[in-house]
Structure 1
């Protein structure tokens, strides 16, 4: 005679001690009758219970598909600390009108790139305003502005360096992904820059919260006639930063100075160790000599490093910001 589970009604195997469907223990009463272990149920009563009830106490999780590691069109260019730079090899969703432009852009290494920040690897990061595209997890977001007085200070810094007034701060255990850009994303370890680096305006994209941001004034007021700016952004501390540059790292020249002097004609230096003395000076001993030679030049003295662009102007680099606004992915 066939036996059935008194809990879910499933057919029981001969000699079974438990129901294979719901796990209820089988107890033999009066020879062949199977009943539930619970004493308050009738022998032939069928009570339905889900075989896998939902555990409401279980923490949530997120699975991201067809992204880094699963998409052959996305490659990892660099990774330092909590930051990872990715690049899209091709635009796979172009219109016929865009196909020619996108094809030759890819051939010339004009590709969209993004920065990914893993917040579980750091106490937090801050980004340039409106740089975030999406994020995962229950991350915390703040403006980094503490009152009206702090806003005023940040406003003056922003006016001097052309950076955003408020730089959103993110913390948590999820991911933050920035907007796509055609510029090149450079990851730097401040430990390799004597824990302080001065950068050209508009280069800052992201940094760990352990890195402080301030404004540095050039050593000499006459420097403003040689350089493009009188004030520059300085990043201090122990951590990693990301710069958004018109030039790739493979094209930039690294100059290391030890108690010496480097003279550069034009605004080719995009970043340098903050301890270097940076001034603008005449290239000759007299005004006439300067006029007949290089005019005013940028001079770096001391010990440190300089990150220098090999070219002062590139048509495609000058148009990258315009392309970011024109071409939407």
Structure 2
């Protein structure tokens, strides 16, 4: 059977790529979905095209190396690649369940080893590739998607209960440590992420829209004023506070999308000033 492969693939483009000698990671984007089989699906596809909502997929090319994925992320693979999800006996299984339950991430993260291509499940989400160089980052639950096996996936515990409860981040978050490529699935486009470099400085955030920080940044929850009365009258109350030297990623537009979904345009024009706080 003969076919024109270029015509089959000209609807897909690479929007981001990163590689080293062992692995290459690409984020693919479908220019347009053309498979509507009835009027209802055709109307939805038309709205999606007009709204610039596009399907994306992560492709990972291995060169005799290993990659670790979020459970259930695999779509298909090609080549000499084997999957390994060793539990490490009863003790190892217990540790995996504990780690999964405290971080909110899935318990098992299978490892794929060998040479070939791996395609992850397509979705309408947004993906970012980062490279760690003997570093540690802490990310929100659900943000981890894939990483080289040279990167350790663990749990970072909040330093105090008040930060866990009042900061709405949970008692544990996902910690990634080591050297290698990492794929993150984020709620907003890369262009809407505000990256702040702190140099022994303080960043105060009214809301839980910080999705990543480097491991040497200290996170606490504090009142916006030195007095409880001052915090109450300011209308801000509690703030998520980041101190130290390192990097913090903020996604302030996350709450814009939440409010548009829940309240429509009224949620963004409310004179009460709540459009940029917790949804």
TM-score (norm 2): 0.85
Residue by residue, what CA displacement relative to the aligned partner does 1:136-177 show, whole Å, maximum 9, x if unpaired? 012111114212211111111111221111111001111110
Q: Considering only CA atoms, is the larger Rg found in Structure 1 or Structure 2?
A: 1
Aligned residue number for residue 252 of structure 2: 310
Specify which of 123, 128, 131 is matched with residue 181 of structure 1.
123
Alignment of 1:153 onto 2:153: no
1:214 Cα deviation from its structure 2 partner: 1.0
User: 1:205–1:244: 8 Å Cα contact kept in structure 2?
Assistant: yes
1:303 Cα deviation from its structure 2 partner: 0.5
User: 1:137–1:173: 8 Å Cα contact kept in structure 2?
Assistant: yes
Alignment of 1:78 onto 2:16: yes
Aligned residue number for residue 241 of structure 1: 182
Specify which of 113, 128, 132 is matched with residue 56 of structure 2.
113
1:138 aligns to what SS in structure 2? strand
Separation in structure 1 between the aligned mates of residue 261 and residue 71 of structure 2, nearest angstrom: 21
* Structure showing the higher helix proportion among its residues: 2
Alignment of 1:164 onto 2:164: no
Specify which of 245, 270, 291 is matched with residue 211 of structure 2.
270
User: 2:192–2:253: 8 Å Cα contact kept in structure 1?
Assistant: no
TM-score (norm 1): 0.72
Question: Structure 2, unaligned stretches of length 5 or more?
Answer: 263-279
CA root-mean-square deviation: 2.2
Separation in structure 2 between the aligned mates of residue 200 and residue 274 of structure 1, nearest angstrom: 13
1:300 Cα deviation from its structure 2 partner: 0.5
1:214 aligns to what SS in structure 2? strand
Q: Aligned in 2, Cα 1:189/1:318: closer, same or farther, shift over 3 Å?
A: farther
* Structure showing the higher strand proportion among its residues: 2
Q: Aligned in 2, Cα 1:316/1:124: closer, same or farther, shift over 3 Å?
A: farther
Aligned residue number for residue 240 of structure 2: 298
Aligned residue number for residue 126 of structure 1: 68
Separation in structure 1 between the aligned mates of residue 259 and residue 117 of structure 2, nearest angstrom: 31
Q: Aligned in 2, Cα 1:318/1:136: closer, same or farther, shift over 3 Å?
A: farther
Separation in structure 2 between the aligned mates of residue 196 and residue 103 of structure 1, nearest angstrom: 42
Separation in structure 1 between the aligned mates of residue 123 and residue 215 of structure 2, nearest angstrom: 28
Q: Aligned in 2, Cα 1:316/1:101: closer, same or farther, shift over 3 Å?
A: farther
Separation in structure 1 between the aligned mates of residue 254 and residue 191 of structure 2, nearest angstrom: 16
1:220 Cα deviation from its structure 2 partner: 2.3
1:271 Cα deviation from its structure 2 partner: 0.7
How many equivalent pairs are there? Answer: 252
User: 1:266–1:312: 8 Å Cα contact kept in structure 2?
Assistant: no
